[in-house]
Structure 1
């Protein structure tokens, strides 16, 4: 037995109890503080998170609205297809990141494993197409071409294909009625990105991860109307994922339909005739290069003269927009964007910039009248015009004696415009401009709407260029260092140009002004700009912002919002000047440079007006331009490296008019063959069930080939030697334009 008294243990026991009490109290205090932090200070935040963790969303995509032509014919609509999709979220949970599953899937779909894996990888700056540029949290379409047997294999062997779904889905379809492709006008779709979702989160039209959005053309311009609102059903689930109730359900609202001013029949004619004109131009021999013309790109625009609405717009080379549906393949993407593709995604009607050549002459004609020159005055048209040691020649070095400004338009006399531009350049002070210089020729081009976008309802339109004194200064400042580095006084042609530009490239030279006066030099226009100009002349002087969209109609047809044509300006000419120019352009079609293309045309019933243009581009073959109008339509066609205006583009434009008005090659009317003798009035009817009573489209039957043969394609005469140099000034190396040629 211990002799230690019992009372000796008490202090130690008491100390231990106190320590335990302090420890318990500290733990309780810590727990209480944590509970206060979670339940009071941040309680609302965690409550909301807990709610979200127990709500699952099921998205029902909205049916995208259709894009219709002016008569209700679908240009783009939807069709149900079996779509096989992969959940990247589920695949990433697997040890091999889903490679085994995707390999098995490739075998079922008759695809290569690489193609399938490329489809589900995410796009970034280093990853080439094909890849997924949408949200990584939504199902990624692998193919929309699966058949029922393939879908059944996937569904019946679900354990072999975790994260893979196969179900009927409404997918976009680009119909091409009557072979009217309309690719660049319609555009295409691709998945929404996370950045776009975040940007539009607080807008009036937010995105869901399942959305497809327009990337170009009408699909982009009218995306918020076409897209509709997806249906979202929210289910309450427990922590095991079991549904315990319905939280909220929003029904899907289908997108609205966009009715356009495009006529699919005319569009088919325009596309066919543009391509055929390019093929025929390639048969013609270019004496300047001793090769056939390349005719590697072109565009044609058909506008309603009184409204500026687009009846047809064709661009070549072209492509099938269905290639983008369900995700584009690597092979197709390379075809559309590769070095040798010549960029078919470009809408050359609004994005191709080129010197306009002589179709530009209506502008300096107007400028000369506004500067005080008499339209009916007498102006010499010699075979050439000299400025110092530099000679500028007329087309084929032909002279026409003394003629009026109207006569200069009819025969496309360059030297008349050279002299007028040179005189105005001198009056404005030449290379040392006077304060308040009039600059009539440049000012008038701006008043005609050039040098800026027309405002057409298609994305990515380019502005072209009016090379006035202000532009010269900006361009020189941006390129001076490069010119000075490249330039050599006694070097090659390009090096000489660079040398001269380095020294005084900001000055408006005499050669710049005379080149500009006939649509050469640094001047750049687009087909839509020139079609708008000629439509304005046709209607008496009103410039419109061209438009493709005509109305937005709800899916049930009950709500119709018409899109009215917008006036963008007035041509700077009075009625007297307008009448004289109108008569001169009629003379071009009856006795001038375009007369040989309008033989037999019923001028007394449908007055035709035209202007031919042939622009020379440094290092390339000549660009063909043909601008025309009637009281109803304005048609402009251009073919790059295609030869002369009347030679390459002229026959195709005539055939488009023949189809519109129901004329044969001899000018005889057949009303039954007339596609659109007058612009379409009214809108097609959309029923409450969404159906449209669209008329059928008969295939376009082209006219028999002309008997003239390929030698006539480049015009009479087919080509012209390079005209007028006597020095390098007046040409331009910066933009690749050289001395002018005629028509």
Structure 2
């Protein structure tokens, strides 16, 4: 028998019972609290989620709107293709992650297995193209060029191809009417990313995982209007996935069409002539370097002078935007992004920066007048100009005696502008600038719109550079450490790079005399883009208004009932009086009739279509000269540039003349045939779009440079070659 007293045993039993009661009550309170949290606090949320567990969504992509030229010719539209897609979700359920299925699929499609594997892998920081950067839960296109026979094989042998579909699908098509490539203007599409979906969740235009979005050009600029709204059908299913009813159906809404100011015919001419000019330049000998010009890239802009609307915009090297449709291949992606191919994705009309050379002299002329120099005053034009122990030569060391500012523009006299730029630098205090320094040459450039974006409706525009005093300070701060490190090797090393680094380390923040002198003729650290210069020369033509360049002209709803016209907008006026502007116009007309561009405009009907021009040959350290040719009439401004192409009139001049001939229907003698003229006056009306969205677009024939010539002239051209 136990020696424990009866009272002690009873107390222990009571304590145990109390503990058990506390545990039971705690458990009941916990369960009750959890039940309250699930049923009352978050009841609606979990109820909605439970409902969604029994709803499956089927997305019907919206038909993307077309991009049309000014007359309604499709530049980008849609066509039906047989698209073969693979579902990663289904493939990953298989023991080998679907490799055997994809291998069989490659055999049917005539592709290598690795090609197919690469197409369906997901993109990340370490995975090169091709890869899939869209949602992993939507079918991934393997090819959009499947034949009917291939599609039938896949569908008839469905048991051999689980997770694979072959369906007719509307896909993007870049039509290149009349061989007008327009790649950088149009841009391209690729699947939306998870990050983009998250960012757009709370906007009025959220993304679905099946969406394709614009990545550059007009496809990106007008993505919201073009994309439309995808349709979503929601099906109720049971726990076995069987459809038991339809919950909701949102119809797809097609995207709107974007009518542009681009004329496909003129675009084809601009692309052809730019390419021909570059080919010709590569066959021309550069006396300075002792080898042919490289002519590695170029751009041309054709703009309506009175509105800023872009009629044509070409950039070389270019690419085929159709390569992105259905997923880009590794080979194509490497070519488009490699240094060897010189980055064809760049739109050099808005992203190419270079020193402008003498086409900048219209800015320097206006600056001189603002600074108090008379336009018709007499200014010495010697063969060279000396300052601070340095000699700055006139182009080809030619002198012209005492001339006016207008004549300095005509003959492109560097030394006149050297002296004016240097004098203004001295008046402003030189190396020790006054507090109230006028800086007319820099101020005027900013007033002309340089050093900032023009506002064109294309993404990725760069600002160029006006190297004023503030820029010098900022640039010095950013580069001081690197300059000083390299400059330590001086004076043991006296190569150009080391000497320059040493000088910049000590005084790189100061605006020197040589900075002001070189700047006055568009050299030194000055950078501009072709679109900036086309805007400036258009403003001189129209009386001084700087328009925001635009490519989009109107947004047309799918049923054509609603049309939103994109009106021209101005971002400023030239800081030039009407009198000075008229004087500058006279000088620029003189450039085309008796100045540096006259040899390119022989036979031009100056009395009927006054031509104004300015040539530019910009020197670039370590490279061959950059060719610039800036022109305008009462209707258009055209600016062309060729990197490492030689002189302005020599390389770009003939191509610009040929574009004008095509626009106005002119032959070599200046005779006009309006039947052959592509666009003798800018297109004002919009194309007529039917209620079903169809357009009676005119047919575009590929550009034939000899179409302007008579049979006799064609024979002569074939014998002597095209006009140089």
Are 2:299 and 2:316, in contact at CA under 8 Å, matched by a contact in 1? yes
**Is the contact made by 2:654 and 2:723 (CA closer than 8 Å) also made in structure 1?**
no
Does 2:639 align with 1:636?
yes
2:177–2:701 Cα contact (<8 Å) kept: no
2:617 is matched with 614
Preserved contact between residue 381 and residue 401 of structure 1 (Cα < 8 Å): yes
Partner of residue 663, structure 1? 666
- Aligned-residue offset at 1:338: 1.8
What do residues 298-357 of structure 1 show as CA deviations (whole Å, max 9, x unaligned)? 000000000000000000001100000000000111111123110000000000000000
Gaps of 5+ in 1: 1-10, 714-743
> More displaced, 488-497 or 379-388?
488-497
Secondary structure of the corresponding residue to residue 673 of structure 1 = coil
How many residues of Structure 1 are paired with residues of Structure 2 in the alignment? 698
What is the TM-score with the length of structure 1 in the denominator? 0.91
2:610 is the counterpart of 1:624: no
Matched, 1:524 2:527: yes
1:706-728 deviation per Cα after TM superposition (whole angstroms, max 9, x unaligned): 69989996xxxxxxxxxxxxxxx
> Per-residue displacement from partner, 1:143-184 (whole Å, max 9, x unpaired)?
101111111111111121111111000000000000000000
Mapping for residues 152-551 of structure 1, pairs under 5 Å: 152-487=152-487, 488-489=490-491, 491-551=494-554
1:702 to 700, 705, 721: 705
Question: How high is the TM-score relative to the length of structure 2?
Answer: 0.94
Match for residue 681 of structure 2 among 674, 678, 681 = 678
- What is the alpha-carbon distance in structure 1 between the residues aligned to residue 112 and residue 231 of structure 2? 35
Alignment check: 8 A CA contact 1:284 1:710 kept? no
Match in the other structure for 1:732: none
Partners of 2:438 and 2:28 in 1: CA distance: 90
Deviation at 1:45, TM superposition (A): 2.4
The 8 Å contact of residues 388 and 513 in structure 2, kept in 1 or not, is answered as no
Q: Tell me how far 1:40 sits from its aligned partner.
A: 3.3
After superposition, the Cα gap between the structure-2 partners of 1:470 and 1:707, relative to the gap in structure 1 and judged at 3 Å, is: farther
CA contact (8 A) 1:90 1:163 kept: yes
C-alpha separation between the residues in 1 aligned to 2:560 and 2:295?
44
Q: How far apart are 1:26 and its partner, in Å?
A: 9.1
1:283–1:710 contact (8 Å) kept in structure 2: no
SS state of the match for residue 306, structure 1?
A: coil
SS at match of 2:111: coil
CA distance in 2, matches of 1:386, 1:326: 62
Residue 463 of structure 1: CA displacement? 0.1
* Partner of residue 731, structure 1: none
Moved more, 147-156 or 226-235: 147-156
State the superposition RMSD in angstroms: 2.0
Partner of 2:690: 687
Aligned partners of 2:520, 2:34: CA distance in 1, in Å? 83
8 Å contact from structure 2 (residues 385, 419) kept in 1? yes
Moved more, 90-99 or 345-354: 90-99
1-structure distance, mates of 2:657, 2:647: 15
For residue 201 of structure 1, give the secondary structure of its aligned residue in structure 2: coil
Q: Distance in 2 between matches of 1:597 and 1:613?
A: 14
The match for 2:83 is 83
Q: Distance in 1 between matches of 2:289 and 2:450?
A: 32
Structure 1 Cα separation of the partners of residues 136 and 312 of structure 2 = 39
Q: Following TM superposition, by how much is the alpha carbon of 1:39 offset from its aligned partner in structure 2, in angstroms? A: 2.8
In 1, Cα distance between equivalents of 2:266 and 2:323? 24
Cα distance in 2, alignment partners of residues 541 and 417 from structure 1: 22
CA contact (8 A) 2:301 2:349 kept: yes
**Offset of residue 42 of structure 1:** 3.3
Q: CA separation in 2, counterparts of 1:677 and 1:466? A: 36
Is the 8 Å Cα contact of residues 280 and 710 (structure 1) preserved in structure 2? Answer: no
Matches of 1:447 and 1:45, distance apart in 2: 58
Tell me which of 637, 644, 652 is aligned to 2:655.
652
Q: Per the alignment, in what secondary structure is the counterpart of residue 623 of structure 2? A: coil
What CA distance in whole angstroms lies between the structure 1 residues aligned with 2:719 and 2:294? 20
Whole-angstrom CA distance in 2 between matches of 1:208 and 1:36: 35
Determine if contact 2:558/2:693 at 8 Å carries over to the other structure.
yes
| Distance in 2 of aligned mates of 1:117 and 1:514 | 60
Matched with 1:590 is 593
1:35 shift after superposition: 4.4
Q: How far apart in 1 are the matches of 2:554 and 2:212? A: 22
